[in-house]
């Protein structure tokens, strides 16, 4: 506790210093309470609604949450805070005693970084509680109703001895207070002690590699004139802060400077202690997942990793971030039944949301094609031989009514047949040949149950003069309903009367194309969302309530999930 401290002011007490990026682990911790995991997919891409930039000046695309936290990438933290809400963050931060007062006007990550000061002692204590399996230790103090952690105060000294070893004064016995579950604390500690996860931003080797498990976080303010470093082993927590006083704007600090201080501190403080790792608490599981989606691996997944989860929160569906597509190698368009077979090739693409395509182009990544090879105009079918429903490139499921026209001079009969893939090698007939001409009516019914994927649907009309005319369309058969999980609220959750904006959040995926999620509370629709993250807020009303979420894919398949909660 040395440095430029005004006379009479304890440097361990307020006003403190801006937290900068030291707040991000607590944002992610609040996300873990809402169903996120170290494997969750986050996007580090530019946003028109944000002015935040990463310390390295780059964007890194899709990432596991683990890498976003370990490397201090800010757009993912901002997006996660938007998803879980400020209320969840304040609850966690107050439990850990990061702040000495409430900041009700703070509602965004930039303000959290620059306008919410803390002290080195308070912040080290909060990180120490995470390293201590979620247990906060301190001295008894009068309870503060706005900050539950203030029922204990940080211990800044243990005892006072004279030169002969005589004890003049001792600190009272500490109070022990669990504030975060051991499982949630372990998720954070596991990420912050992951040395390879830090390599993209710090390089290898770097000062934070100290020869023993070391859960550490470096922090930087926006102006880069103040840096923090707090690290912990299972035995000790160490913290350091550095700042530049009255310096020009061009003067900058690097997190590596405070990292060098931490390196010396941890080596000296542990010089007589053997290396020790954190014990994994019950309720933590390991699973191999696809990187970076955090979902179950598929043959298209280029990299798999072993990740940790809260038991029961493991992914249950396959990766959908990488997909193998058949394309026309000359045009780059999606292959169809009209594509010459010799031009069709398979390519694996990273499937990007619309908001990430700009980043992908700047990064030189191939953009998955969206347009299809279509029938040349000079080969288009006549109005007398035509399939009008389903439409070209549509999604279908179940029993499909095929409509159109099969008629003309010297009409004899017509036939419907299907083939799988963009260039079918064999065709299967639907029903029997029909000798009844049809004009703008039903040609037949195709039972697609049990089928999935890309199919060609063909109409053949045979005439008495041996002419054969045809029409063919490409459709996607999808009989697999979406997967759906309600993240928040949890079943039976009770909300306090003052919780007015209640977070409603769900996760959904589909094997082909998810159309929308519909949210209902007490049978009244409150939102329809078409893009992830699937979350909304509901103004809480006292009483018991039922939340029902409906996930619908492009073919009309639907999955429903329902939970009950209440507001006191």
By three-state DSSP, how is residue 509 classified?
A: strand
pLDDT at 103: 65
CB 267 within 8 A of CB 257: no
Distance (Å, rounded) from C-alpha 80 to C-alpha 211? 32
What pLDDT, in 10s, does the model give residues 167-185?
999 988 888 899 999 999 9
Distance (Å, rounded) from C-alpha 484 to C-alpha 519? 12
Confidence band, pLDDT 50/70/90 cuts, at residue 14: low
pLDDT at 422: 82
pLDDT at 503: 83
Quote the mean pLDDT of the chain.
Answer: 89
Residues pairing with 539 in the sheet: 501
Q: What is the mean pLDDT of residues 69-97?
A: 90
SS (H, E, C) 372-412: ECCCCHHHCCCCCEEEEECCCCCEECCEEEEEEEECCCCEE
Distance (Å, rounded) from C-alpha 485 to C-alpha 297? 20
pLDDT at 145: 46
pLDDT at 376: 62
Confidence band, pLDDT 50/70/90 cuts, at residue 146: very low
Distance of CA 434 to the CA centre of its chain: 53
Conformational region of residue 556, where left means phi above 0, alpha means psi within -120 to 50, and beta covers everything else? left
What pLDDT, in 10s, does the model give residues 477-494?
999 999 999 988 989 999
Query: 295 Cβ partners below 8 Å, 6+ apart?
Result: 41, 289, 315, 317, 318, 319, 320, 321, 509
Write the DSSP symbol of residue 25.
H
Q: For residue 360, what is the enclosing H or E element? A: helix 357-363
Q: What is the mean pLDDT of residues 87-99?
A: 87
What pLDDT, in 10s, does the model give residues 537-552?
898 889 999 999 999 9
First to last CA, the chain: 46
Distance (Å, rounded) from C-alpha 425 to C-alpha 421? 9
Q: DSSP of 225-272, one letter per residue? A: SEEEEEEE-SS-EEEEEEE-SS--TT----HHHHHHHHHHHHHHHTTT
Look at 21-30, 153-162, 261-270 and tell me which has the smallest mean pLDDT: 153-162
Confidence band, pLDDT 50/70/90 cuts, at residue 351: confident
Model confidence at 21: pLDDT above 90? yes
Model confidence at 150: pLDDT above 70? no
Q: What is the mean pLDDT of residues 382-405?
A: 94
Quick one: which of 351, 347, 346 has its CA closest to 293? 351
Q: What is the mean pLDDT of residues 206-210?
A: 96
pLDDT at 552: 96
Model confidence at 309: pLDDT above 90? yes
Top-confidence range, 13-22, 54-63, 436-445: 436-445
Q: What is the mean pLDDT of residues 108-129?
A: 90
Model confidence at 151: pLDDT above 70? no
Model confidence at 111: pLDDT above 70? yes
Model confidence at 69: pLDDT above 50? yes
Q: Let me know how many helices (H) and strands (E) the chain has, helices first.
A: 10, 32
CB 534 within 8 A of CB 508: yes
What pLDDT, in 10s, does the model give residues 244-299?
877 787 888 999 999 999 999 999 999 999 999 999 999 999 999 999 999 999 99
Distance (Å, rounded) from C-alpha 2 to C-alpha 468? 93
Confidence band, pLDDT 50/70/90 cuts, at residue 203: very high
Confidence band, pLDDT 50/70/90 cuts, at residue 82: confident
Write the DSSP symbol of residue 23.
G
How many residues does the structure list for the chain? Answer: 568
Model confidence at 141: pLDDT above 80? no
Q: What is the mean pLDDT of residues 518-523?
A: 96
Write the DSSP symbol of residue 478.
-
pLDDT at 165: 94
């Amino acid at each position: 506790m040395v440095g430029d401290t005004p006379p009479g002011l304890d440097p361990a007490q307020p006003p403190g210093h801006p937290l900068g990026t030291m707040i991000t682990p607590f944002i992610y911790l609040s996300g873990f309470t809402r169903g996120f995991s170290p494997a969750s997919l986050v996007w580090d891409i530019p946003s028109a609604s944000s002015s935040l930039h990463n310390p390295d000046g780059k964007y890194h695309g899709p990432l596991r949450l683990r890498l976003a936290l370990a490397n201090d990438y800010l757009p993912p933290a901002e997006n996660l805070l938007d998803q879980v809400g400020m209320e969840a963050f304040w609850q966690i931060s107050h439990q850990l005693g990061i702040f000495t007062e409430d900041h009700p006007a703070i509602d965004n990550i930039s303000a959290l970084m620059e306008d919410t000061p803390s002290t080195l002692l308070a912040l080290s204590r909060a990180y120490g509680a995470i390293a201590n399996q979620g247990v906060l230790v301190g001295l008894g103090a009068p309870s503060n109703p706005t900050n539950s952690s203030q029922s204990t105060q940080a211990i800044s000294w243990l005892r006072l001895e004279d030169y002969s070893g005589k004890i003049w004064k001792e600190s009272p016995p500490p109070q022990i207070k669990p504030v975060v579950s051991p499982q949630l604390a372990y998720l954070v500690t596991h990420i912050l002690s992951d040395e390879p996860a830090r390599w993209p931003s710090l390089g290898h080797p770097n000062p934070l590699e100290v020869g023993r498990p070391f859960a550490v976080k470096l922090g930087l303010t926006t102006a880069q004139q103040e840096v923090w470093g707090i690290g912990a082993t299972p035995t000790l927590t160490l913290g350091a802060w550095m700042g530049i006083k009255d310096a020009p704007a061009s003067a900058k600090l690097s997190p590596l400077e405070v990292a060098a201080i931490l390196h010396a501190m941890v080596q000296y403080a542990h010089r007589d202690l053997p290396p020790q790792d954190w014990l994994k608490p019950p309720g933590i599981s390991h699973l191999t997942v696809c990187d970076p989606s955090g979902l179950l691996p598929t043959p298209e997944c280029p990299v798999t990793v072993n990740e940790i989860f809260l038991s029961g929160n493991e992914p249950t569906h396959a990766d959908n971030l990488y997909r193998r597509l058949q394309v026309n190698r000359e045009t780059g368009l999606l292959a169809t039944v009209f594509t010459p077979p010799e031009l069709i090739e398979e390519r694996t693409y990273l499937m990007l949301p619309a908001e990430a395509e700009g980043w992908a182009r700047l990064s030189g990544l191939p953009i998955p094609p969206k347009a299809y090879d279509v029938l040349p105009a000079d080969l288009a079918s006549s109005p007398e031989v035509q399939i009008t429903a389903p439409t070209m490139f549509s999604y279908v499921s179940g029993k499909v009514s095929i409509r159109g026209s099969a008629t003309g001079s010297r009409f004899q009969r017509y036939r419907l047949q299907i083939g799988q893939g963009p260039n079918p090698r064999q065709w299967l007939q639907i029903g029997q040949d029909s000798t009844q001409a049809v004009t703008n009516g039903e040609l037949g019914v195709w039972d697609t149950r049990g089928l999935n994927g890309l199919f060609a649907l063909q109409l053949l009309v045979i005439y008495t003069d041996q002419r054969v005319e045809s029409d063919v369309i490409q459709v996607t058969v999808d009989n697999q309903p979406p997967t759906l999980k309600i993240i928040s609220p949890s079943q039976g959750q009770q909300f306090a009367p003052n919780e007015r904006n209640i977070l409603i959040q769900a996760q959904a995926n589909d094997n082909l194309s998810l159309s929308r999620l519909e949210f209902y509370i007490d049978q009244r629709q409150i939102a329809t969302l078409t893009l992830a993250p699937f979350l909304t807020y509901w103004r809480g009303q006292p009483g018991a309530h039922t939340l029902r979420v409906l996930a619908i894919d492009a073919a009309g398949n639907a999955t429903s999930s329902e939970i009950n909660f209440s507001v006191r």
